[in-house]
Chain A
Amino acid sequence: DAKTTQPPSMDCAEGRAANLPCNHSTISGNEYVYWYRQIHSQGPQYIIHGLKNNETNEMASLIITEDRKSSTLILPHATLRDTAVYYCIVRVYSRDNYGQNFVFGPGTRLSVLP
Chain B
Amino acid sequence: DSGVTQTPKHLITATGQRVTLRCSPRSGDLSVYWYQQSLDQGLQFLIQYYNGEERAKGNILERFSAQQFPDLHSELNLSSLELGDSALYFCASSSRPQHTDTQYFGPGTRLTVL
Question: Which A residues are within 8 Å of any B CB, using their own CB?
Answer: 32, 34, 36, 41-46, 49, 87, 93, 95, 97-106
Contacts and interface: CB of A to CB of B under 8 A. Distances in A.
Size category of the B interface is 20 to 34
A43 B90 contact: yes
B35 to A, nearest CB: 8
Given A41-B108, A42-B108, A49 B45 contact: no
A101 B56 contact: yes
B42 interface: yes
Given A42-B107, A43-B4, A102 B45 contact: yes
B57 to A, nearest CB: 9
B55 A99 contact: yes
Contacts, number: 67
Interface stretch (B61-69, B72-80, B97-105): B97-105
A87 B43 CA distance: 10
Contact of A99 (B50, B90, B106, B108): B50
A49 B96 CA distance: 17
Interface of B: 2, 4, 31, 33, 35, 42-45, 48, 50, 55-56, 58, 88, 90, 92, 94, 96-97, 99-108, 110
B3 to A, nearest CB: 11
A105 B110 CA distance: 21
Contact of A101 (B4, B48, B96, B108): B48
A86 B58 CA distance: 22
A58 to B, nearest CB: 15
